[in-house]
Protein backbone atom coordinates (compact mmCIF):
# COMPACT_ATOMS: atom_id res chain seq x y z
CA UNK A 1 0.00 0.00 0.00
CA UNK A 2 1.38 3.43 -0.92
CA UNK A 3 1.38 5.38 2.36
CA UNK A 4 1.75 9.11 3.07
CA UNK A 5 2.99 10.03 6.57
CA UNK A 6 3.83 13.43 8.15
CA UNK A 7 7.16 15.17 7.47
CA UNK A 8 7.35 16.50 11.05
CA UNK A 9 4.13 18.49 11.43
CA UNK A 10 1.17 16.10 11.78
CA UNK A 11 -1.58 18.71 12.11
CA UNK A 12 -4.64 18.75 9.86
CA UNK A 13 -3.50 22.04 8.34
CA UNK A 14 -0.08 20.57 7.46
CA UNK A 15 -1.84 17.68 5.71
CA UNK A 16 -4.14 20.03 3.81
CA UNK A 17 -1.15 22.16 2.70
CA UNK A 18 0.61 19.03 1.49
CA UNK A 19 -2.46 17.75 -0.34
CA UNK A 20 -2.84 21.09 -2.11
CA UNK A 21 0.83 21.27 -3.18
CA UNK A 22 1.14 17.56 -4.12
CA UNK A 23 -2.36 17.09 -5.55
CA UNK A 24 -1.34 16.17 -9.11
CA UNK A 25 1.40 13.81 -7.93
CA UNK A 26 -0.99 12.11 -5.49
CA UNK A 27 -3.65 11.65 -8.18
CA UNK A 28 -1.03 10.01 -10.42
CA UNK A 29 0.04 7.70 -7.60
CA UNK A 30 -3.59 6.90 -6.81
CA UNK A 31 -4.26 5.86 -10.41
CA UNK A 32 -1.05 3.74 -10.47
CA UNK A 33 -1.51 2.06 -7.07
CA UNK A 34 -5.29 2.00 -6.82
CA UNK A 35 -5.23 3.13 -3.17
CA UNK A 36 -3.28 5.49 -0.91
CA UNK A 37 -3.22 5.52 2.88
CA UNK A 38 -2.77 8.81 4.79
CA UNK A 39 -1.49 7.80 8.24
CA UNK A 40 -0.28 9.63 11.34
CA UNK A 41 -2.16 12.92 10.91
CA UNK A 42 -4.32 14.48 13.62
CA UNK A 43 -7.75 14.05 12.09
CA UNK A 44 -10.05 13.84 15.08
CA UNK A 45 -13.59 14.36 13.80
CA UNK A 46 -15.82 13.56 10.80
CA UNK A 47 -15.58 17.30 9.94
CA UNK A 48 -11.75 17.06 9.80
CA UNK A 49 -12.13 14.11 7.44
CA UNK A 50 -14.63 15.99 5.28
CA UNK A 51 -12.24 18.98 5.01
CA UNK A 52 -9.44 16.67 3.83
CA UNK A 53 -11.65 14.79 1.35
CA UNK A 54 -12.95 18.07 -0.10
CA UNK A 55 -9.38 19.21 -0.83
CA UNK A 56 -8.80 16.05 -2.82
CA UNK A 57 -12.21 15.99 -4.46
CA UNK A 58 -14.28 19.20 -4.32
CA UNK A 59 -17.24 17.44 -5.97
CA UNK A 60 -18.17 15.08 -3.11
CA UNK A 61 -21.65 13.53 -3.37
CA UNK A 62 -24.24 12.52 -0.82
CA UNK A 63 -26.81 10.51 -2.79
CA UNK A 64 -26.39 6.79 -2.16
CA UNK A 65 -28.16 4.02 -4.06
CA UNK A 66 -26.08 1.13 -2.70
CA UNK A 67 -27.15 -1.81 -0.62
CA UNK A 68 -25.59 -1.07 2.80
CA UNK A 69 -27.51 0.72 5.54
CA UNK A 70 -25.64 4.03 6.14
CA UNK A 71 -26.12 6.97 8.50
CA UNK A 72 -25.18 10.51 7.63
CA UNK A 73 -22.57 12.25 9.91
CA UNK A 74 -21.88 15.50 8.05
CA UNK A 75 -23.07 16.84 4.70
CA UNK A 76 -20.76 14.48 2.77
CA UNK A 77 -19.65 11.93 5.38
CA UNK A 78 -21.55 8.73 6.20
CA UNK A 79 -20.98 5.63 8.27
CA UNK A 80 -19.43 3.07 5.91
CA UNK A 81 -21.99 0.42 6.85
CA UNK A 82 -24.39 -0.22 9.68
CA UNK A 83 -24.40 -3.97 8.98
CA UNK A 84 -23.64 -6.02 12.13
CA UNK A 85 -19.96 -6.85 12.69
CA UNK A 86 -20.24 -10.56 11.96
CA UNK A 87 -21.48 -9.90 8.40
CA UNK A 88 -18.75 -10.24 5.81
CA UNK A 89 -18.78 -7.41 3.25
CA UNK A 90 -17.27 -8.91 0.16
CA UNK A 91 -14.91 -6.96 -2.09
CA UNK A 92 -16.64 -4.62 -4.53
CA UNK A 93 -16.13 -1.46 -6.54
CA UNK A 94 -18.70 0.91 -5.06
CA UNK A 95 -22.05 0.85 -6.91
CA UNK A 96 -20.52 -0.93 -9.93
CA UNK A 97 -24.08 -2.07 -10.69
CA UNK A 98 -25.17 1.47 -11.56
CA UNK A 99 -24.25 3.55 -14.62
CA UNK A 100 -23.06 6.28 -12.22
CA UNK A 101 -20.52 4.55 -9.95
CA UNK A 102 -18.43 7.04 -7.93
CA UNK A 103 -14.96 7.78 -9.30
CA UNK A 104 -13.10 8.05 -5.96
CA UNK A 105 -13.80 6.87 -2.41
CA UNK A 106 -12.42 8.06 0.93
CA UNK A 107 -12.57 6.06 4.16
CA UNK A 108 -11.69 7.40 7.60
CA UNK A 109 -11.02 5.64 10.90
CA UNK A 110 -12.96 7.53 13.59
CA UNK A 111 -12.96 4.68 16.13
CA UNK A 112 -10.17 2.13 15.76
CA UNK A 113 -11.30 -1.51 15.87
CA UNK A 114 -9.32 -3.83 18.11
CA UNK A 115 -10.55 -7.19 16.82
CA UNK A 116 -10.81 -7.51 13.03
CA UNK A 117 -12.78 -5.00 10.97
CA UNK A 118 -10.07 -4.26 8.40
CA UNK A 119 -11.17 -2.62 5.14
CA UNK A 120 -9.11 -4.69 2.69
CA UNK A 121 -8.55 -3.52 -0.87
CA UNK A 122 -7.95 -5.51 -4.04
CA UNK A 123 -6.74 -4.40 -7.46
CA UNK A 124 -9.48 -5.60 -9.81
CA UNK A 125 -7.15 -5.05 -12.79
CA UNK A 126 -5.16 -8.01 -11.43
CA UNK A 127 -8.32 -10.07 -10.94
CA UNK A 128 -9.23 -9.47 -14.59
CA UNK A 129 -5.69 -10.31 -15.77
CA UNK A 130 -5.44 -13.51 -13.71
CA UNK A 131 -8.87 -14.95 -14.49
CA UNK A 132 -9.17 -18.21 -16.38
CA UNK A 133 -9.53 -16.85 -19.96
CA UNK A 134 -12.48 -19.16 -20.68
CA UNK A 135 -14.46 -17.90 -17.68
CA UNK A 136 -13.43 -14.29 -18.35
CA UNK A 137 -14.55 -14.52 -22.00
CA UNK A 138 -17.88 -15.93 -20.92
CA UNK A 139 -18.53 -13.01 -18.55
CA UNK A 140 -17.39 -10.50 -21.20
CA UNK A 141 -19.67 -12.03 -23.81
CA UNK A 142 -22.75 -12.58 -21.65
CA UNK A 143 -22.73 -9.72 -19.13
CA UNK A 144 -24.41 -9.97 -15.73
CA UNK A 145 -27.95 -9.40 -14.48
CA UNK A 146 -28.47 -8.19 -10.91
CA UNK A 147 -31.58 -9.12 -8.98
CA UNK A 148 -32.56 -7.41 -5.72
CA UNK A 149 -35.69 -8.05 -3.67
CA UNK A 150 -36.61 -5.36 -1.17
CA UNK A 151 -39.18 -5.42 1.58
CA UNK A 152 -41.27 -2.29 2.20
CA UNK A 153 -42.70 -0.37 5.15
CA UNK A 154 -45.81 -2.61 5.18
CA UNK A 155 -44.13 -5.97 4.60
CA UNK A 156 -44.65 -8.63 7.23
CA UNK A 157 -41.34 -9.12 9.11
CA UNK A 158 -38.67 -10.91 7.05
CA UNK A 159 -36.65 -13.72 8.59
CA UNK A 160 -34.02 -13.72 5.85
CA UNK A 161 -30.63 -12.90 7.39
CA UNK A 162 -29.50 -11.54 4.03
CA UNK A 163 -32.42 -9.09 3.73
CA UNK A 164 -31.38 -5.65 2.49
CA UNK A 165 -32.60 -2.36 3.88
CA UNK A 166 -36.23 -1.57 2.89
CA UNK A 167 -37.06 0.09 -0.44
CA UNK A 168 -38.40 3.21 1.32
CA UNK A 169 -35.03 3.47 3.14
CA UNK A 170 -33.13 3.02 -0.12
CA UNK A 171 -35.10 5.66 -2.01
CA UNK A 172 -35.94 7.85 1.00
CA UNK A 173 -39.60 8.01 0.00
CA UNK A 174 -42.78 5.93 0.21
CA UNK A 175 -44.09 7.35 -3.07
CA UNK A 176 -44.12 4.64 -5.76
CA UNK A 177 -43.98 7.22 -8.57
CA UNK A 178 -40.77 8.77 -7.17
CA UNK A 179 -39.22 5.28 -6.82
CA UNK A 180 -40.14 4.45 -10.42
CA UNK A 181 -38.65 7.72 -11.68
CA UNK A 182 -35.37 7.05 -9.81
CA UNK A 183 -35.24 3.53 -11.22
CA UNK A 184 -35.72 4.82 -14.75
CA UNK A 185 -32.78 7.22 -14.27
CA UNK A 186 -30.55 4.31 -13.18
CA UNK A 187 -31.69 1.79 -15.83
CA UNK A 188 -33.36 -0.38 -13.18
CA UNK A 189 -36.49 -2.37 -13.95
CA UNK A 190 -38.79 -2.03 -10.95
CA UNK A 191 -41.60 -4.52 -10.28
CA UNK A 192 -43.97 -4.11 -7.34
CA UNK A 193 -44.79 -7.43 -5.71
CA UNK A 194 -47.35 -8.59 -3.15
CA UNK A 195 -46.73 -7.84 0.54
CA UNK A 196 -45.33 -4.38 -0.34
CA UNK A 197 -42.17 -5.81 -1.87
CA UNK A 198 -40.13 -4.41 -4.73
CA UNK A 199 -37.92 -6.29 -7.19
CA UNK A 200 -35.13 -4.39 -8.94
CA UNK A 201 -33.38 -5.92 -11.94
CA UNK A 202 -30.69 -4.52 -14.19
CA UNK A 203 -28.06 -5.80 -16.59
CA UNK A 204 -24.48 -4.58 -16.74
CA UNK A 205 -21.24 -5.46 -18.50
CA UNK A 206 -19.06 -7.62 -16.24
CA UNK A 207 -15.89 -5.63 -17.03
CA UNK A 208 -14.98 -2.02 -17.62
CA UNK A 209 -12.03 -0.21 -19.21
CA UNK A 210 -10.15 2.09 -16.85
CA UNK A 211 -10.79 5.67 -18.05
CA UNK A 212 -7.16 6.84 -17.67
CA UNK A 213 -4.99 3.76 -18.24
CA UNK A 214 -7.20 1.77 -20.62
CA UNK A 215 -6.60 -1.40 -18.57
CA UNK A 216 -9.49 -3.84 -18.24
CA UNK A 217 -11.04 -4.19 -14.77
CA UNK A 218 -13.32 -6.83 -13.23
CA UNK A 219 -16.18 -4.44 -12.46
CA UNK A 220 -19.28 -6.12 -11.13
CA UNK A 221 -20.80 -7.38 -7.86
CA UNK A 222 -20.76 -11.17 -8.52
CA UNK A 223 -18.82 -11.83 -5.31
CA UNK A 224 -21.38 -9.79 -3.32
CA UNK A 225 -24.69 -10.53 -4.99
CA UNK A 226 -24.46 -14.21 -5.90
CA UNK A 227 -26.27 -16.31 -3.33
CA UNK A 228 -23.26 -18.57 -2.82
CA UNK A 229 -20.86 -15.68 -2.19
CA UNK A 230 -21.25 -15.08 1.57
CA UNK A 231 -20.72 -18.76 2.42
CA UNK A 232 -17.60 -18.91 0.23
CA UNK A 233 -16.33 -15.67 1.76
CA UNK A 234 -16.57 -17.02 5.31
CA UNK A 235 -14.38 -19.98 4.37
CA UNK A 236 -11.65 -17.47 3.48
CA UNK A 237 -12.34 -15.47 6.65
CA UNK A 238 -12.00 -18.61 8.77
CA UNK A 239 -8.75 -19.56 7.01
CA UNK A 240 -7.37 -16.13 7.93
CA UNK A 241 -8.65 -15.85 11.52
CA UNK A 242 -8.74 -19.48 12.62
CA UNK A 243 -10.98 -18.70 15.61
CA UNK A 244 -14.26 -20.00 17.02
CA UNK A 245 -16.08 -16.80 16.05
CA UNK A 246 -15.38 -17.30 12.33
CA UNK A 247 -15.94 -21.05 12.58
CA UNK A 248 -19.43 -20.43 14.01
CA UNK A 249 -20.46 -18.03 11.23
CA UNK A 250 -18.79 -20.08 8.50
CA UNK A 251 -20.84 -23.12 9.53
CA UNK A 252 -24.03 -21.06 9.91
CA UNK A 253 -23.73 -19.37 6.49
CA UNK A 254 -22.82 -22.60 4.74
CA UNK A 255 -25.79 -24.38 6.35
CA UNK A 256 -28.20 -21.56 5.43
CA UNK A 257 -26.89 -21.55 1.85
CA UNK A 258 -27.29 -25.32 1.63
CA UNK A 259 -30.97 -25.08 2.58
CA UNK A 260 -31.56 -22.09 0.31
CA UNK A 261 -30.29 -24.19 -2.59
CA UNK A 262 -32.95 -26.78 -1.74
CA UNK A 263 -35.93 -24.57 -0.91
CA UNK A 264 -35.57 -21.05 -2.32
CA UNK A 265 -35.75 -19.89 -5.92
CA UNK A 266 -32.56 -17.92 -6.71
CA UNK A 267 -34.64 -15.09 -8.19
CA UNK A 268 -36.44 -14.66 -4.83
CA UNK A 269 -33.19 -14.06 -2.91
CA UNK A 270 -32.57 -10.63 -1.38
CA UNK A 271 -29.64 -10.39 -3.81
CA UNK A 272 -28.57 -12.63 -6.66
CA UNK A 273 -26.81 -12.48 -10.01
CA UNK A 274 -27.27 -14.46 -13.23
CA UNK A 275 -25.87 -14.18 -16.75
CA UNK A 276 -27.57 -11.33 -18.59
CA UNK A 277 -28.06 -12.94 -22.01
CA UNK A 278 -30.48 -15.72 -21.06
CA UNK A 279 -30.90 -15.51 -17.26
CA UNK A 280 -29.01 -18.77 -16.73
CA UNK A 281 -27.33 -19.41 -13.39
CA UNK A 282 -23.67 -18.52 -12.89
CA UNK A 283 -22.00 -21.71 -11.59
CA UNK A 284 -20.74 -21.76 -8.01
CA UNK A 285 -17.29 -22.76 -9.32
CA UNK A 286 -17.08 -19.41 -11.18
CA UNK A 287 -17.92 -17.49 -8.00
CA UNK A 288 -15.30 -19.49 -6.11
CA UNK A 289 -12.71 -18.84 -8.85
CA UNK A 290 -13.26 -15.07 -8.65
CA UNK A 291 -13.27 -15.01 -4.83
CA UNK A 292 -10.05 -17.07 -4.69
CA UNK A 293 -8.35 -14.57 -7.01
CA UNK A 294 -9.64 -11.67 -4.94
CA UNK A 295 -8.26 -13.19 -1.72
CA UNK A 296 -4.92 -13.92 -3.46
CA UNK A 297 -4.62 -10.24 -4.38
CA UNK A 298 -6.19 -8.64 -1.32
CA UNK A 299 -4.34 -6.35 1.06
CA UNK A 300 -5.79 -6.11 4.58
CA UNK A 301 -4.13 -3.68 6.99
CA UNK A 302 -5.45 -3.04 10.51
CA UNK A 303 -6.91 0.47 10.90
CA UNK A 304 -5.16 3.13 13.00
CA UNK A 305 -7.08 6.04 14.51
CA UNK A 306 -7.25 8.99 12.07
CA UNK A 307 -6.26 6.98 8.97
CA UNK A 308 -7.68 8.11 5.63
CA UNK A 309 -7.77 5.58 2.80
CA UNK A 310 -8.24 6.96 -0.73
CA UNK A 311 -9.41 4.52 -3.39
CA UNK A 312 -9.63 4.69 -7.18
CA UNK A 313 -13.04 3.02 -7.42
CA UNK A 314 -12.53 2.31 -11.15
CA UNK A 315 -9.62 -0.08 -10.49
CA UNK A 316 -9.70 -1.09 -6.84
CA UNK A 317 -12.31 -2.73 -4.65
CA UNK A 318 -12.91 -2.56 -0.91
CA UNK A 319 -14.77 -4.70 1.62
CA UNK A 320 -14.92 -5.36 5.34
CA UNK A 321 -13.65 -8.25 7.40
CA UNK A 322 -15.84 -9.31 10.34
CA UNK A 323 -15.12 -7.71 13.72
CA UNK A 324 -16.04 -7.67 17.39
CA UNK A 325 -16.18 -4.67 19.70
CA UNK A 326 -16.10 -0.97 18.84
CA UNK A 327 -15.42 0.23 15.28
CA UNK A 328 -16.48 3.37 13.43
CA UNK A 329 -15.27 3.75 9.86
CA UNK A 330 -16.70 6.63 7.81
CA UNK A 331 -16.90 7.13 4.05
CA UNK A 332 -17.19 9.92 1.49
CA UNK A 333 -17.30 9.62 -2.30
CA UNK A 334 -17.03 11.70 -5.44
CA UNK A 335 -19.25 11.74 -8.53
Binding site for Fe ion (CB under 5 A): 94
Q: What is the smallest separation between the CB atom of 225 and Fe ion, expressed in angstroms?
A: 13
Q: What is the smallest separation between the CB atom of 85 and Fe ion, expressed in angstroms?
A: 16
Distances from the Cα of 72 to the Cα of 44, 45, 62, 255, 287, angstroms: 17, 14, 9, 35, 33
Q: H helices of 214-329, where?
A: 222-225, 229-241, 244-263, 284-296
Q: Are 233 and 88 in contact (CB under 8 A)?
A: yes
Residue closer to Fe ion (CB basis): 94 or 269 = 94
Q: Are strands 35-38 and 2-4 parallel, antiparallel or unpaired?
A: parallel
Residue closer to Fe ion (CB basis): 94 or 123 = 94
Q: What is the smallest separation between the CB atom of 94 and Fe ion, expressed in angstroms?
A: 5
Q: Are 98 and 106 in contact (CB under 8 A)?
A: no
Q: What is the smallest separation between the CB atom of 42 and Fe ion, expressed in angstroms?
A: 26
CA neighbor of 43 nearest in space, from 1, 102, 106, 104:
106
Q: Name the β-bridge partners of 273.
A: 146
Whole-angstrom distance, CA of residue 106 vs CA of residue 64: 14
Residue closer to Fe ion (CB basis): 96 or 297 = 96
Residue closer to Fe ion (CB basis): 19 or 298 = 298
Q: What is the smallest separation between the CB atom of 318 and Fe ion, expressed in angstroms?
A: 6
Residue 156, H or E segment: none
Which sign does the torsion angle of CA 123, 129, 133, 139 carry?
positive
Residue closer to Fe ion (CB basis): 94 or 168 = 94
What is the number of the residue whose Cβ is closest to Fe ion?
94
Residue 26, H or E segment: helix 23-33
Q: What is the smallest separation between the CB atom of 89 and Fe ion, expressed in angstroms?
A: 7
Amino acid sequence: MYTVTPNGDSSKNALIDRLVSDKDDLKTKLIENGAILLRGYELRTPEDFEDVALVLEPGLQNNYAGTSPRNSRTKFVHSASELPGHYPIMQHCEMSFLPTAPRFLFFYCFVEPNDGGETPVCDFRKVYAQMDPKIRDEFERRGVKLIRNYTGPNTKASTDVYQLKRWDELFKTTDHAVVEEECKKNDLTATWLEDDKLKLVNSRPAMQKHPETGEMVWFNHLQVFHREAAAIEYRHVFKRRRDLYSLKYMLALNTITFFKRLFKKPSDEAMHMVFADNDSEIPRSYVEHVQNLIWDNMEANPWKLGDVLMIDNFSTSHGRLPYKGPRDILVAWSA
